[in-house]
Amino acid sequence: MCGRNTIFSDKKTIKNDFNVNIWKTEDEYVPTYNLSPTQLSPVLVKNEQRAIYIMRWGFGFQSAMKPIFNARAETLSTKKTFKGLIEKNRCIVLSNGFYEWKNDGNTKIPYFIHHSDGKTIPMAGLCKWDIDQNGNRKLVYTVITKEARTSLKDIHHREPVMLSKSSLSRWINVKSFTEDPLSCLYDNIDRISSYEVTKFVNKSSNDSRECIQRILG
């Protein structure tokens, strides 16, 4: 599962690290240490060139339904919501790390999971146009998840698909990719670390560097 994210890299770093050619609505980018579903964040796509769009996290605007903010890798090709998007609507969700809560009896302990070298993590996603409550077309995305690697299973049994450099290129290359794109989802970044943070992050409206403050012990 991935239900709380971060993206606080500066625009120049993102552009350089991901060879971005175009950044649409660049002025809408707001770095965040506590990103929740329904909020906006930068997403990388490729048609002719690599481009970043600001998109809403989660499919579906209906007030009676929760947004679909995760998609299981194991069932992408069979779920009606996702299978029609695999060929042409693949994207990269940019992240500096995400939060998961570990069950400890009656308590849930928040952890920050990040790249060991502090790099921006490319998460596999799917995106599409959706219609909001006012009838306006909006770009939305969902994050693909898979079974957690051994080092993270103690915290949570699922993790977002965090792509290696080679699988990133193949995942977003929707124009000339000839392999089964789902084969990319199991070629992941190795250097992932985690540490316990304070419960300050539990409140979604708290959005500052304090969210990723490590608990020393």
Q: How confident is the model at residue 176 (pLDDT cuts 50, 70, 90)?
A: low
Range 197-201 contact pairs with CB under 8 angstroms and sequence separation of 24 or more: 197/99, 197/110, 197/111, 197/112, 198/110, 199/110, 201/4, 201/34, 201/99, 201/110, 201/112
- Among 91, 100, 127, 211, the active-site one is 100
- Interatomic CA distance for residues 34 and 211, integer angstroms: 7
- The question of whether 100 is a catalytic residue gets the answer yes
Look at residue 175 and tell me whether its pLDDT is greater than 90.
no
- Among 2, 127, 184, 211, the active-site one is 2
Q: How confident is the model at residue 150 (pLDDT cuts 50, 70, 90)?
A: confident
- The question of whether 211 is a catalytic residue gets the answer no
pTM reported for the whole predicted model: 0.95
**pLDDT > 70: percent of the chain:** 97
| Per-residue model confidence as pLDDT tens digits over 48-96 | 899 999 999 999 987 667 889 999 999 999 999 999 999 899 999 999 9
| Per-residue model confidence as pLDDT tens digits over 19-46 | 999 999 999 999 999 999 999 999 999 9
Look at residue 173 and tell me whether its pLDDT is greater than 80.
yes
- Interatomic CA distance for residues 3 and 100, integer angstroms: 8
Q: What is the pLDDT of residue 217?
A: 66
Q: What is the pLDDT of residue 192?
A: 95
Q: Domain boundaries in the chain?
A: 5-212
User: In the CATH hierarchy, which top-level class contains the domain 5-212?
Assistant: alpha beta
